[in-house]
Amino acid sequence: MGNEKIKEEAERKMNKHIKIIILQVIFLVAVAGVLYLVYPKANIEIKGTLVIFNSVNANVIIISENPDFSNPRYLDFESRKNITFDLKPGTYYWKASNNLIEGLSKEFKIESEVGMKIDVIEGDEAKLSNVGNVKLNVTRNKEGMMVGYIILEPNDSEEIENSGEYAGRQN
Residues 37-96 that bind other proteins (CB under 8 A): 39-40, 45, 47, 50, 52, 60, 62-63, 65-66, 70-78, 80, 82-86, 89
| Least CB distance to other proteins at residue 113 (A) | 4
132 near other proteins (CB under 8 A) = yes
Check if the beta carbon of residue 94 is closer than 8 Å to that of residue 63: yes
Q: Residue 104: is it exposed, middle or buried by C-beta count within 10 angstroms (0-12/13-18/19+)?
A: exposed
Nearer to other proteins, 103 or 108 (CB): 103
| Least CB distance to other proteins at residue 66 (A) | 6
Q: Report residue 120 CA to chain centroid gap.
A: 38
Check if the beta carbon of residue 128 is closer than 8 Å to that of residue 154: no
Look up residue 31 and give its DSSP letter.
Answer: H
List the interface residues with other proteins, window 98-117 (CB under 8 A): 98-104, 111-117
